[in-house]
Amino acid sequence: MNSNDVNILLRAAPQVVEDSRQLITGGVLVWDSRIAPDKTQAVFEDARARGASHIVSDVAGEGVVCAPDVGAVLASYAAETWPRQPDVMMGVTGTSGKTSVAWFAQQLLRGAGLTGASLGTLGVVRDDKVTDYTGYTSPTALQLHPRLQAFAEDGVTHAVMEVSSHALALKRCDGVRFTAAGFTNFSQDHLDYHGTMEAYFNAKMRLFSELLPEGRVGVVNMGREALWPVASVLKQRGCSVLSVGTGGAELVVSVEDSGPWGMDVVVKYDAVPVQLRLPLLGDFQAENVAMALGLLVGSGVPWETLKRALPLVTSVAGRMEIVTGGDAAAPAVVVDYAHKPEALEKALAALRSQTTGKLWCVFGCGGNRDAGKRPLMGEIAGRLADHVVVTDDNPRFEEAATIRAAVMAGVGRTEGVWEIGDRREAMAFAIDTAGPDDVILVAGKGHEDGQIVKGEVLPFDDRVVVREILG
C-alpha cells in the first residue's frame, strides 16, 4: 500500500491514534517503532485486543499495513485533517536554550501588541501562563496540528515552537509552515537515540534543509563554529540568514554588567543601541534573547516595536530561577533545568562570576538516557563547583546507584564531593552546610514536578522542596 492509499485509509477511519491504549473499536493505530522498538509486538497485540480495524507501522506483522516512512504518513494526515495554522510560525532548535527562546519570544510578541503563543517543553504558553502540557518538547503530529488549528481559530497570529531532534527525525513537525527557524547551539546529547553526533546534527538540520521554505529566514548563532554549515545550507536553498549572538553578528545582545539582580545589556541591530536591565541570570541568556529577537525580526515584526517590548522579558520558570525562603542568612539557591553537559557548564560558569563564597552543585543524571554524558557532567561539576552533591534525577528503570557511580567517576576527586541518593536529603544537606555567601545550583529538573522511578511519577518539584527546606 502506497502512502496515498494509507492516507485515504486514515481519513476514512473513525479514529486514528498513536497509543493503543486510546483505541476504540474500529479505530486505526499508527505505530512508529523507533519510539520504543522493544514494545512493538506488545503494542500490536494490545491494538488487536482492543478491536483495531487496521495497524499502520514501519514494522511488518500479521494484519499490519506496512508504511516505511510512517512519520511522514502521520504528519501528512494530521496536517490535512487540521490545516489551519497561525499566519506566522517560528521554530527553534538546538541542544539547549530552546525553552528560553520560545518563552522570550512569546513575551516579546505580547509586548509588541501581537496575539502570540509558544509551544514546547513547558506546554502551551500565552501571556506568560502555561497550559496544556503535552509531555514532549515537540508534540506528536496528532497533538501538534490540532493545537495549531486551535491557535488560529482563537486568533493567535504568531506562534513559536521548540523543535527537537527527535521530532525532526520522526517527522512530527512536517507540514508546519515555518516563516523563520533558529538554531541556538550544538553539543552532545541524545546519543542513546541518534547513535552518533553526525546523525544528531543531521536530524536538527532537517529544519533548515527540508522544512523551512525557500525565501524564508534562518536565524543562526554564528558565534558557534559548529553552526557555520547551517548558514551555507540556507544560502544554497535561497533562504536569508540572520546572524545573532553576543558579538560580530547582525543582531547583538552584549552583557555590560551582571549580578544577582540580573544583567545590564546593550542590544544592537540598527544605528541606535538599546541599553536596559534584564532580570536574567547567566550571560548565555543574552544569546537566547538575541535568538528570540532574531526570529521575530525574521518574521517581519518591526524592530522599533520590539525595542519597546524588551523590558517585558523575564526568566523562565525553572531556568536559572532564584528560589528564596524566610531565612535571610541562608545561601542563595538557583534551580535550573540543566541536564546536559553544555547546559550544566553554562549554568555553573554563569554562577561562578556571581559567587563571593563557595559554589555548590546538586545534580544527577536521568536513567535510560544517554549514559555517555554522565561522566562528562561529573567532570564539569568537579571542575567548576567547589562542592558537588551527586543525587538522583529520574532514574526510571535503571538502578539509581549505577547512574550515580558513573557521575562520581567523572567528578575525579573526593574532597568536597558527596553522594546522596535521596534528592530532598541531598538538597537539604547542601543548604544546611553551605555558608551565607555561598551559591547552590540545583540542576536537572527545573520546572518539572515529578521524579520518575520504576515507571512511577512521584511528586517532586525542586523549587517547592527548596522553599520547604529554607522555611
Whether the Cβ atoms of residue 19 and residue 75 lie closer than 8 Å to each other: no
- Domain identity same for 327 and 443: yes
Half-sphere exposure of 443 (CA within 13 A, CB side): 30
CA 322 – CA 281 distance, rounded (Å): 9
Whether the Cβ atoms of residue 184 and residue 291 lie closer than 8 Å to each other: yes
- Residues in a beta bridge with 392: none
Whether the Cβ atoms of residue 194 and residue 169 lie closer than 8 Å to each other: yes
- Domain identity same for 277 and 400: no
Domain that holds residue 193: 82-312
- Domain identity same for 292 and 143: yes
Q: What are the respective helix, strand and coil percentages of the chain, to the nearest 5? A: 40, 25, 40
pLDDT digits (tens, 9 = 90+) for 162-210: 999 999 999 999 999 999 999 998 876 666 676 788 888 899 999 999 9
At 186 the pLDDT is 86
Look-up of cell digits 557521575: 407
Q: Which of 56, 79, 102 is the last residue of a domain?
A: 79
Q: How many CB atoms lie within 10 A of CB 456?
A: 9
At 194 the pLDDT is 67
- Domain identity same for 151 and 250: yes
- Domain identity same for 24 and 91: no
At 169 the pLDDT is 92
- Domain identity same for 121 and 177: yes
Q: Which three cell numbers stand for residue 382?
A: 568537579
- Domain identity same for 49 and 118: no
Q: Which of 282, 312, 342 is the last residue of a domain?
A: 312
CATH number at residue 178: 3.40.1190.10
Nearest to 347 by CA among 357, 356, 358, 338: 338
Q: Which three cell numbers stand for residue 262?
A: 540580573
C-alpha distances in Å from residue 191, one per residue of 197, 228, 287, 368:
7, 22, 25, 12
Query: How many structural domains comprise the chain?
Result: 3
- Dihedral sign, CA of 65, 176, 121, 98? positive
DSSP, collapsed to helix, strand or coil, labels residue 218 as strand
Query: Which helix (H) or strand (E) segment is 150 a member of?
Result: helix 141-153
- Domain identity same for 55 and 148: no
Look-up of cell digits 518574521: 299
Q: What are phi and psi of 146, to 5 degrees?
A: -60, -35
At 328 the pLDDT is 79
CATH number at residue 62: 3.40.1390.10
- Domain identity same for 271 and 289: yes
- Dihedral sign, CA of 441, 445, 451, 453? negative
- Domain identity same for 155 and 31: no
Q: Which of 79, 111, 144 is the last residue of a domain?
A: 79
At 191 the pLDDT is 65
- Domain identity same for 295 and 390: no
CATH number at residue 364: 3.90.190.20
- Domain identity same for 364 and 394: yes
Q: Which three cell numbers stand for residue 447?
A: 520546572
At 158 the pLDDT is 98
Residues of the chain with pLDDT under 70: 188-192, 194
